[in-house]
Amino acid sequence: MKTEYLHMKGKLLKADLHIHSKYSRRPSAWVLRKIGCSESYTEPENLYALARDRGMDPVTITDHNTLAGSLEIAHLENTFLSEEITTYFPEDRCKFHVLAYDINEKQHEDISALRNNVFQLIK
């Protein structure tokens, strides 16, 4: 886990803003894809417990192109929905990753429809 410190409403918060659960099945690294590995095999609730044990508050999960991990912990205290979006530059299909925080399921649907073009997605 990578610790980030956030200032929110005058309070210093500790969080990991880039973490994957078992729902990140297609890794970014080509070597992992080549041997059929997932990015992570960790259960979302285990990630939540580990983050809380390490003093992190709030907690989110940024799985690749899905809200599945963060939805699985959404009923727990101090969580929010997030994801890591794989997007592409239209001129050469160069892959790029964008992190989206504190989104909802409707926004995820919009993101999914736009993710093939980084310029449309960012708007």
What is the total count of domains within the chain? 1
Comparing 70 with 57, the larger pLDDT belongs to 70
Q: Which structural domain range is residue 62 located in?
A: 4-122
Residue 107: partners with Cβ closer than 8 Å, 6 or more residues away: 100
Share of the chain above pLDDT 70, in %: 95
The structure tokens listed for 84 are 């890591």
Residue 32: give its domain's CATH number: 3.20.20.140
Structure confidence at residue 69 (pLDDT):
98
The structure tokens listed for 76 are 């727990």
| Each residue's pLDDT tens digit, 67-121 | 999 999 999 999 999 999 999 999 999 999 999 999 999 999 999 999 999 999 9
Give, as one character, the DSSP assignment of residue 102.
S
Query: Is residue 3's pLDDT more than 90?
Result: no
Neighbours of 89 (CB within 10 A): 12
Structure confidence at residue 25 (pLDDT):
82
